[in-house]
Structure 1
Amino acid sequence: MLQYQGQPLDLAFQALSDPGRRAMVERLSRGPATVSELAAPLPMTLSAVVQHLKVLEEAGLVTSEKTGRVRTCTLDVAAMTQVERWVAERRRFWEQQYDNLEAYLARTAPEEGRT
């Protein structure tokens, strides 16, 4: 299988494509959490949660620190900001396209009541 070494944004979107990982990111957006805290509401094993966290860390979205036997994870806000910025740029582009279309349709629409 071909291994794709994506750019940071590609890796972020790939990591966010999984609903379990998105749930972890959502939880971490409220503050740091231990692996056990992240695993508690999810329908998967602790081992699976650790694997998902590895994907999030490799994408640069999450960092973790181990103190004794407890691993605490934190969301990397700068990485999430890059994702948000990319989405916002696409949104602005398409909003401008729709505004242009609306203006064009308004200019070219036949006037009502004209015979």
Structure 2
Amino acid sequence: MTTIALVAHDQKKDALVAWAKSHEDALAGHKLYATGTTGGRLQAETSLDVTPLKSGPLGGDAQLGAMIAEGKLKVLVFFIDPLSAMPHDVDVKSLIRLAILYDTLLAVNEETATAVMKGLPAT
């Protein structure tokens, strides 16, 4: 079982929920975390067991960063909206920096997330 975090900026939440639905069987075999609204939507719109964290700007990004630093998070799927300014951009950059620093699988778009899921062992 792999620990996976699912995160999406506001303009990418629909895309992440749709992606999760299309990969629901594969995701179901893993331990899932998600920040704020993304987690709520995944719980409401899929049958996935998702542990919700705080909203990204309210500490959810930091919670995920701590999990990465502690070796507790193996995959970060973060659908980023490259066209919108984020008020908590510093938190997002910190989270991505930690994922890179600790060699965490990092998918920032649908194609990469799908490729990562295909490479994970089934449980």
TM-score normalised over the length of structure 2: 0.26
Name which one, 1 or 2, has greater alpha-carbon Rg: 1
- Counting strand residues as a fraction of each chain, which structure ranks higher? 2
